[in-house]
Amino acid sequence: MDIERIRKDFPILDQQVNGKPLVYFDNAATTQKPLAVVQRISDYYLKENSNVHRGVHHLSQVATEVYENARSYVAKYIHAEESKEIIFTRGTTESINLLANVLSPWIQAGDEIVISGMEHHSNLVPWQQLCEKSKARLRVLPVDLDGTLDLNFLEKMLTPQVKLLAITHISNVLGTVNPVKEIVKLAHEKGVPVLLDGAQGIAHAKVDVQDLGVDFYAFSGHKIYAPMGIGVLYGRFTWLRRLPPYQFGGEMIDQVTFEKTTFNELPYKYEAGTPNVSGALGLEAALRYVQQTGLDNIFKHEDRLLKYATEKLETVDGIRIVGHAKEKAAVLSFLINGIHPFDLGTLLDQMGVAVRTGHHCAQPLMDFYGIPGTVRASFGMYNTLEEVDIFADAVKKAVAMLR
Amino acid sequence: MTIAEKEQEVIADFSLFENWMDKYAYLIELGKELPLIDEKYKTNQYLISGCQSRVWLHAELKEGKIFLTADSDAVITKGIASLLISVLSGHTPAEILEAKLDFLEQIGLKEHLSPTRANGLSSMVKQIMLYARAFQIKSKQE
């Protein structure tokens, strides 16, 4: 993998911040977009833009075709059985909210939904609200101190009352790659369907929904080099077919009279209103870019960055790395004794290094560790070992100033 | 000294620094030296919720003047709080309400005032102004 060539595809990286070359280590929040993605969006608006579906004219048919091709490509990318199992949404959060909304008739008083202690608020609050509304119970699989989940414990939690297991594929704070295939298997043995929050998983793991056997998989485009505002809810056909619609109007409609409306078939049933066509095309372009670069190459490179950064930071006096799972991906969260993450992040920014500080939308996890937040460096395919050196030196310099 | 004069003094102090490191090193020093808020005020009641660093602010009126104390768990935030306090504390509510506080911009710390920085500073200024208004109304009633 030729990093220098890849970096040329991401012109945004070639800039100065506060007079220093930008080191972009905030990829878990959002990734930068390669030219191929920007170009695809631009091409769409320059040559193909029209409203999709039902149009009889040429441009509408072109737009419909490229939009549906994007859906097919996404389906292939995550190895869905059929492209109608791919629902385009605004992102992971909307995907999960959609699911929580349409599952609500299935959740009765006394039922349980199980999540884990390392969930992002987006895979916690929708379920908490649903439970509140349905008088169901939200149960939380605890995280071990090293940042992993105890599957034996999970097995015990999967009682007949459990109607859904909603769990993250990769933790956005700890970097833990959960053993999702095993988790799905465990849940299915007890007849419990599973939603995986793939916000991080899509970019840092191979996702094969059939191999995982998962019922639902939610992800955002922008975490995998695609534009913001496009995401996916994958749902197994047998599930999506049975579930009610989410929003009403537009393409999701079949027949309307003032007395009654019948709804369109999948996937349109879940795509009310004019969809984000350019976003879907950008997502396809991004996935193609990733595929061309090679998932294995990317993961190997990110792993090298993670290990190197971990080694480097371990030499900093008072360092505490949060998350020690054996299977860990592209995310390095840490704290330094006596130093507030905000202070460190502010000084790193002065040195051109972009990291994220705070609770990373996982407040219960922060409470579990008894910390106000962490500093999080997260890597993408275009980051380099030299950037890790700059980052580690910047951390040391900041620590010296703050002590 | 008036608030405006104090602002000028801070600007003069900061003009001595040639680079960001010295500026931040100075802020960190100020943060470390800030006389701490009385522990009894470090409660949720006095907490200004910024997104990332917590800031406690206490104000009291003595002989017509407002005296401020603050603390934060982030030292840079504390340093900026210290600057604010050094400029505003010991003045009447009316004087504080009229303060322009453009020194933060002039010393190159305006970015910290942006609400998106989420360090609680803009809420802190707002809170000081609220205190000043409340004290002003109260003293008029008396």
pLDDT score of B124 more than 70: yes
Nearest-Cα distance to chain B for A250, in Å, is 36
Contacts A372 to B, Cβ<8 Å: 52, 54, 73
What percent of chain A stands above pLDDT 90? 89
Q: Compare B65 and B114 and report the one with higher pLDDT.
A: B65
Domains and CATH numbers, chain A: 3-32+295-402 (3.90.1150.10), 38-291 (3.40.640.10)
pLDDT score of A30 more than 90: yes
CA separation for the pair A33, A222 (Å, rounded): 8
pLDDT band at B59 (very low <50, low <70, confident <90, very high): very high
Taking CA–CA distances from A402, the nearest residue in chain B reads: B28
- Mean pLDDT score across all residues of chain A: 96
pLDDT band at A324 (very low <50, low <70, confident <90, very high): very high
Q: Which of B26, B30, B52 has the highest number of chain A CBs within 10 A, making it the mutation to test binding with A?
A: B52
Q: What integer pLDDT is reported at residue B19 of this predicted model?
A: 84
* CB pairs A-B closer than 8 Å: 39
Phi, psi of A370 (to 5 degrees): 65, 40
**Numbered residues of chain B with Cβ closer than 8 Å to any chain A Cβ:** 20-21, 24-25, 28, 51-54, 73-77, 118-119
- Dump pLDDT digits (tens) for A122-147: 999 999 999 999 999 999 999 999 99
Q: What integer pLDDT is reported at residue A50 of this predicted model?
A: 94
Instruction: State the average pLDDT over residues A136-159.
Output: 96
Instruction: State the average pLDDT over residues B112-130.
Output: 73
Contacts A341 to B, Cβ<8 Å: 52
- Dump pLDDT digits (tens) for A325-382: 999 999 999 999 999 999 999 999 999 999 999 888 888 998 899 988 999 999 999 9
Q: The pTM is what? A: 0.93
pLDDT score of B142 more than 80: no
- Nearest to residue B117, comparing CAs of B52, B39, B57? B52
pLDDT score of A253 more than 90: no
In chain A the first and final C-alpha atoms are separated, in Å, by: 40
What percent of chain A stands above pLDDT 70? 100
At which residue do the structure tokens 């792993």 appear? A303
Nearest-Cα distance to chain A for B49, in Å, is 13
- Dump pLDDT digits (tens) for A67-93: 999 999 999 999 999 999 999 999 999
Lowest mean pLDDT among A26-30, A199-203, A326-330, A360-364: A360-364
Q: Is B51 known to be catalytic?
A: yes
Contacts B71 to A, Cβ<8 Å: none
Tokens representing A316?
Answer: 């900093």
Domain positions in chain B: 3-141
- Dump pLDDT digits (tens) for B105-114: 888 776 665 5
Q: Which of A336, A340, A343 has the highest number of chain B CBs within 10 A, making it the mutation to test binding with B?
A: A343
Instruction: State the average pLDDT over residues A301-318.
Output: 97
Please report the sign of the dihedral spanned by the C-alpha atoms of residue A306, residue A307, residue A308, residue A314.
positive
pLDDT band at B82 (very low <50, low <70, confident <90, very high): very high
CA separation for the pair A9, A32 (Å, rounded): 10
Q: Which residue out of B12, B25, B36, B51 is catalytically annotated?
A: B51
Q: What integer pLDDT is reported at residue B121 of this predicted model?
A: 72
Taking CA–CA distances from A348, the nearest residue in chain B reads: B21
CA angle centred on A261, ends A258 and A265, rounded to 5°: 160
Q: What integer pLDDT is reported at residue A144 of this predicted model?
A: 95
* Chain-chain contact of B76 with A342 (C-beta, under 8 angstroms): yes
Tokens representing B58?
Answer: 């206490």
Q: What integer pLDDT is reported at residue B51 of this predicted model?
A: 54
Q: What integer pLDDT is reported at residue B4 of this predicted model?
A: 93
- Dump pLDDT digits (tens) for A226-238: 999 999 999 999 9
Q: Tell me which CATH code domain B3-141 carries.
A: 3.90.1010.10
Tokens representing A136?
Answer: 């169901």
Q: What integer pLDDT is reported at residue A334 of this predicted model?
A: 97
Q: Is A214 exposed, middle or buried (0-12, 13-18, 19+ CB in 10 A)?
A: buried
Q: What integer pLDDT is reported at residue B115 of this predicted model?
A: 57
- Dump pLDDT digits (tens) for A255-288: 888 888 888 889 999 999 999 999 999 999 999 9
Contacts B120 to A, Cβ<8 Å: none
